[in-house]
A and B are shown apart, each in its own frame.
Chain A
Amino acid sequence: MREEKGQGQREAQLPARRREELRELLPGLEPERQLTDWGRSERVEGAFDRTLVEFFYRYWFRAEVEGIENVPSQGGALLVSNHSGALPPDAAMIGKAIREEHTHPRGLNITVEHFFKGYPGFSMLLPKIGCVAAHPANVHRLLFDEGQLVLVFPEGRKGTEKLYKDRYRLRRFGRGGFVEAAMRARAPIVPVCVVGAEEAAPVFAQVGLMRRVTGLLYFPITPTFPHFGLAGMLGYLPSKFKLRFLEPIEFEHEGMHQDKGLVQTVAHEVRARIQENLWDMLRRRKSLWFG
């Protein structure tokens, strides 16, 4: 399913530095509209939020949140989190935590693989509930021009593909693209640690053949998938969820993103902080199910 990359001009992917004045020309949302320009629908998102997400957040995972004040109440910020699970519940829980616990509840834009835009159904649903494709230009527009919260999983697919035995061991953090995006937009990075997601949807094996046959991103074997069908993807175990928002890392100077060394250093630093805090949270956890 995936297209081979590299042909054509790949280099001209990022928008050139936009002048501040362009920010003022950003079209406002017409009040009669139900969707934003990104395709986000308050109605659909709200319906999800009140039912499925509410149930999982409050009763199933009984999420506990610390450090929510580290999420800025206005302006753009890039949330960076560890990632796991077959159909990862962590993104929805982070979004719900900000809506529930924060003094200024805000919407969260969750970056997802481009793959979903090409897969029927997902392509229709995901933008409606606040997911955007993880394209540097998208992240830049959200952070810089629109001043919104964006959640990224730098581990990407490597995070969701990892098996149960590798739980809570962070994968490589891509090429530091997320740091570059934050620096370019001069938006702070807020590292987020999520404990519980690994046990909620443990992946025991990946079946490469089935992945190719179904055209899905990956084909995991979990306690409920594939024998309960696609709905089995939602068959999470009731592990206790703990979320910790860490101190934001600010980038005040212009043009920091051009220093590749600095970008890599910060990327490593973010990864190390998340990993450290994960070990700390796991050390304090007495029970997998009750926290």
Chain B
Amino acid sequence: MASKRVLVTGLSTYWGGRLAQALESFDEIEAIIGVDNEDPTVELERTEYVKVSAQHALLRRVVEAAEVDTVIDTRLVVDSATTTPSKAHENNVIGTMNILAACSGTDSPVRKFVFKSSTHFYGCEQDDPAFFDESMGRPHSPRTPIERDIVEAEASVNDFAEKTPDVSASILRFANVLGPDVRTSHIQLFSLPAVPMILGFDPRYQFVHEDDVVHALEHAVKSEVSGLFNVAGDGVLALTEVAGLLGKPYAPILPPWGTGLAASAMRRLGLRIPPEAMAQLRYGRGVDNRRFKATGFRYGYTSREAVLKLGEHLRLHPLVRGAQEPYRYEREVEEFLRWSPHVRGSRKREAALTQEDLSGLRRLLAAQGDGERTGPEPERRPPTRQAPVEHYDDLEPEEVVALLGSLERDDLLALQGYERQHAARRSVLEAIESVLARAEV
């Protein structure tokens, strides 16, 4: 069954956002609906955002009204450092239950359910196999709250899959994710000047790059897979090897006995190692990733390459930090851009913001400005030089304001002059003045 109408839960999480962005580029997917109770954190083009918490009655109405055929649940919290245990439980167990309830029922349009889980499902124990494969359960019952949540959430997905045999359900268990954009406890540990270790232990680690996570979810949507799958890059690294690849020394600062006490002391110093990461620092974990490969998926990165990529990012990060403004979701702007009759065509609306137009605008402004400011521009005057002018006049005040941040001071001055002579919209003039005033300071 080819997915056409997709619902992504957890749109505001890193994974939900990235997945929705990735799905937008597939033309065969005609509708992408994202639900979450918080605003999206990435810029989305055609994904519809519905602000709704995991309430099954509301979700069910969304699912049925939009005739959603595929639900991708990316919401699972797998890192207990990101939230409190009770919130994690609420999200992981109760939330999953509600989403499953919204997808079940005899008349439900849902035909496919993809669940993002974690290899924390297996836990880390002394008597683990070196490579977990999908058919193995946990050797012991879960010890940490987050593992308990994951096991419970997966159990309810399995239950759902059994009760609704016409829905193809798949669970993807991801190994520790590394990448420049995602934040996890382990990346935090690896960002320290030295990689902390437990004295006398060199655990085995397997990683998956963030892009591979998105591709794996995409693959699960687009191809005919169902069942359980481990998703982890090829290769299992020892932690000392990871430190070497990152170009950092390793520091066996945690004692082998009384590790919990030492960890709580470190928490006071500001280094928080969640309990599931602590278990991994001791025993490590490897998984067998072949079953997912057998479905035709190919990884972009091995574990080693994922670590190398992270290392590159960590070296560069202090230099480029803050250069990019984080995206902020503004409902009114998004709605205007999507639905206003003044925006020309749903696809064209983005044209108002492209770099080409910006530079066109700049050229125009340069020409409009004082005669002496010729600049280096006359090398290529486009024949349709007038278009940007008309275009500019068509821009709504809000859009002009949105553009201001990206303009230089001189351009701003020129724009101010142009605006005064032509439309002289007050909101625009005020905005330009305030931007200029900020630039003075």
Contacts and interface: CB of A to CB of B under 8 A. Distances in A.
Interface in A114-132: 114-115, 117-124, 127-128, 132
Given A38-B130, A117-B283, A30 B139 contact: no
B131 A115 contact: no
A124 to B, nearest CB: 4
A8 B138 contact: yes
Interface string A88-126: 000000000000000000000000001101111111100
9 contacts: A8-B140, A30-B235, A33-B235, A37-B236, A117-B127, A124-B201, A127-B202, A127-B204, A137-B130
A15 B228 CA distance: 14
Contacts of B234: 27-28
Contacts of B201: 120, 123-124
Interface string A234-271: 00000000000000000000000000000000000000
Given A32-B304, A141-B130, A15 B136 contact: yes
A24 to B, nearest CB: 9
6 closest Cβ contacts across the A-B interface? A120-B200, A27-B234, A120-B256, A9-B137, A12-B137, A137-B129
B293 interface: yes
B403 interface: no
A119 B293 CA distance: 35
A282 interface: no
B130 A138 contact: yes
B200 A22 contact: no
Contact of B291 (A10, A22, A35, A37): A22
Given A12-B135, A30-B302, A123-B202, A37 B129 contact: no
Contacts of B283: 117-118
Contacts of A230: none
Contacts of A16: 135
B304 A115 contact: no
B127 A37 contact: no
B238 interface: yes
Interface in B277-309: 282-283, 286, 288-291, 293-294, 302, 304
Interface in B122-163: 125-131, 133, 135-141
B241 interface: yes
Interface string B168-211: 00000000000000000000000000000011111010000000
Contact of A135 (B128, B140, B204, B304): B128
A32 B241 CA distance: 11
B238 A35 contact: yes
A137 B137 contact: no
B68 interface: no
Contacts, number: 119
A7 B293 CA distance: 32
Given A13-B136, A27-B302, A30-B302, A135 B129 contact: yes
Interface of B: 125-131, 133, 135-141, 198-202, 204, 234-238, 241, 256, 282-283, 286, 288-291, 293-294, 302, 304
Contacts of B293: 25
A123 B256 CA distance: 11
Given A16-B135, A124-B200, A37 B126 contact: no
**Best-buried of B135, B204, B241 by chain A (most CB within 10 Å):** B135
A33 B290 contact: no
A13 B139 CA distance: 7
Contacts of A32: 304
Contacts of A14: 136
Given A22-B294, A123-B201, 16 more contacts: A9-B137, A12-B136, A19-B294, A22-B291, A25-B293, A37-B235, A118-B282, A122-B200, A127-B202, A133-B127, A133-B129, A133-B130, A135-B130, A136-B129, A137-B130, A138-B131
Given A7-B141, A39-B202, A124-B202, A15 B135 contact: yes
Interface residues of A, number: 48
B200 A138 contact: no
Given A120-B198, A120-B199, A124-B202, A10 B139 contact: yes
B304 A30 contact: yes
A280 interface: no
B130 A132 contact: yes
B125 A8 contact: no
Given A132-B130, A135-B129, A9 B138 contact: yes
Contacts of A34: 241
Nearest to A215: B257
Nearest to A122: B200
Interface string A145-173: 00000000000000000000000000000
A19 B288 CA distance: 14
A26 interface: yes
A114 B63 CA distance: 49
B130 A25 contact: no
Nearest to A4: B140
Contacts of A15: 133, 135-136, 288
A35 B135 CA distance: 27
Contacts of A26: 290
A121 B126 CA distance: 14
Contacts of A33: 235, 237, 241, 304
